[in-house]
Amino acid sequence: MPRSKDAAPEDTIERIRAAAAEALAEASPRDAISIRDVAKRANISTGTLTYYFPNKELLIEDIITGHIQRLERALTELALGSQRIPGHEHFLREMVRTMYRFTQRERVFLELRSILEAKKTELGMRLRNSAHTHIETAAKVLESRVDLELQELTGAIWASQAWISKLATLREVDVARFFGEGAQGEREELVIQLAVRMLHPRPE
């Protein structure tokens, strides 16, 4: 977490986060950002940035924590929506659509997360554990909606998540090759159809 400072820290911290996200979008690999570049993009001194985030690792941890928080809010909203949306298949379709669009918006952060999860660090372990927790949360939300045992459901969610992530993060040139020009809607519908089949909604 960033340090606090008396003089309007939130504004500075948000500028740093926005600059870091911009740098991440251009970085290859995604974690190849520098404190100097982020400070320049945020129009602040390196010293100011390192006051809030003493090193790159803490900055990246803050960025990925923001991503996790947004994911958890999306899952919470889906859990609440489970009570409001009638029809098992209709709910599953809306759930997959929501997560597909979330994945598209968060593409850069998901790619960063994948890199961090592969590392044998404390942060990598926490991210792997949080992924299991999110799958368990999704399974609890879906259990009454699908015609699968809990273990099968958990596997189906993992498989659906991989499928959603793969198609949501395709480069535009590959989308055009596989689906044709301007085929965003077709890609989304294909994701929904295949994920819903894997999840086996209960008969109404």
- CATH number of the domain bearing residue 35: 1.10.10
Claim to verify: residue 165 and residue 71 sit in the same structural domain: yes
Claim to verify: residue 110 and residue 151 sit in the same structural domain: yes
pLDDT at 188: 85
The token pair at 36 is: 């100097």
Cβ neighbours of residue 110 closer than 8 Å, sequence gap 6 or more: 67, 103, 165, 169
Work out how many domains the chain is built from and give that number. Answer: 2
Alpha-carbon gap, residue 66 to 59, rounded angstroms: 11
Claim to verify: residue 76 and residue 17 sit in the same structural domain: no
Q: Which helix (H) or strand (E) holds 37?
A: helix 35-42
- How many other CB atoms are there within 10 angstroms of residue 17's CB atom? 19
Claim to verify: residue 171 and residue 72 sit in the same structural domain: yes
The stretches in the chain having pLDDT less than 50 are 4-7
Q: Is residue 74 part of a domain?
A: yes
pLDDT at 8: 53
Q: Is residue 204 part of a domain?
A: no
pLDDT at 32: 93
Claim to verify: residue 108 and residue 77 sit in the same structural domain: yes
Q: Can you give the residue range of the structural domain that contains 114? A: 63-199
pLDDT at 4: 46
pLDDT tens figures, 113-132: 999 999 989 999 999 999 99
Q: Whole-prediction pTM value?
A: 0.84
Claim to verify: residue 132 and residue 160 sit in the same structural domain: yes
Please, what is the angle between helix 150-168 and helix 184-199, to 10°?
Answer: 170
* 43 to 13, 15, 18, 25, 75: CA distances (angstroms): 12, 9, 11, 18, 35
- Taking CA 71 as the corner, what is the angle to CA 38 and CA 44, rounded to the nearest 5 degrees? 15
Claim to verify: residue 90 and residue 48 sit in the same structural domain: no
